[in-house]
Chain A
Amino acid sequence: KQEVTQIPAALSVPEGENLVLNCSFTDSAIYNLQWFRQDPGKGLTSLLLIQSSQREQTSGRLNASLDKSSGRSTLYIAASQPGDSATYLCAVSPGNTDKLIFGTGTRLQVFP
């Protein structure tokens, strides 16, 4: 059974810091991995999608990497801003299904 874990559960950093959020999954047979952002009281916004054949994806100040063999992904946020404050969720698509299995998220606070 696929399980997704995110560490740390919460993170508070000053503005301008570079930071790394971690995601691990127990079964390496995945189709893709996605990172989402969730603001309080809101739905989820897709940030980056990495196919199983890819190693990383970049969008602006965000960079996500994938190491399938070790069951790990990282989301790197450069030069963090207060507007980055949100919960970040990692989700994997198991290789034999279409559904997404989510981690419990990392709650990020960036203070001025």
Chain B
Amino acid sequence: EAGVAQSPRYKIIEKRQSVAFWCNPISGHATLYWYQQILGQGPKLLIQFQNNGVVDDSQLPKDRFSAERLKGVDSTLKIQPAKLEDSAVYLCASSGHRGRTGELFFGEGSRLTVL
């Protein structure tokens, strides 16, 4: 079974530029999460989708971050314009358990460096 796929693995941009990350969850998983992991810290949830609907985006900086999950499968996370403090690893995870948290499967992440 294929795991969670993310791209690109690495991205370097200058501040005020834009960037987009893509995630393809495990086939059949209804729940998709985007987490931000700053160096030396644990992951922090940015947004959670159930199929193509948003369940929780309370910690998403909506003035610069946006995410969508069209057709309830792939998802894209966009940052525009980027700030220095956005340098982090962006992790996508999916879960097959509907409604309650079960086991999460993570992708390898997309590492963003903002100069």
Contacts and interface: CB of A to CB of B under 8 A. Distances in A.
A89 B42 contact: yes
Contacts of B45: 99-101
B106 A45 contact: yes
B61 interface: no
Contacts of A4: 42
B96 to A, nearest CB: 12
B56 A102 contact: no
A98 B106 contact: no
Interface in B76-115: 91, 93, 99-109, 111
B43 A44 contact: yes
Contact of B100 (A41, A42, A98): A98
A104 B40 contact: yes
A30 B109 CA distance: 27
Contacts of A100: 33, 43, 45, 101, 104
Interface residues of A, number: 24
Nearest to B44: A102
Given A98-B48, A98-B55, A98-B56, A46 B43 contact: no
Contacts of A101: 45
Interface of A: 4, 31-32, 34, 36, 41-46, 49, 89, 91, 93, 97-105
Given A43-B106, A105-B42, 19 more contacts: A31-B100, A34-B104, A36-B106, A43-B4, A43-B107, A43-B108, A44-B91, A44-B106, A45-B106, A46-B103, A49-B102, A89-B43, A98-B56, A100-B43, A100-B104, A102-B42, A103-B42, A104-B40, A104-B41
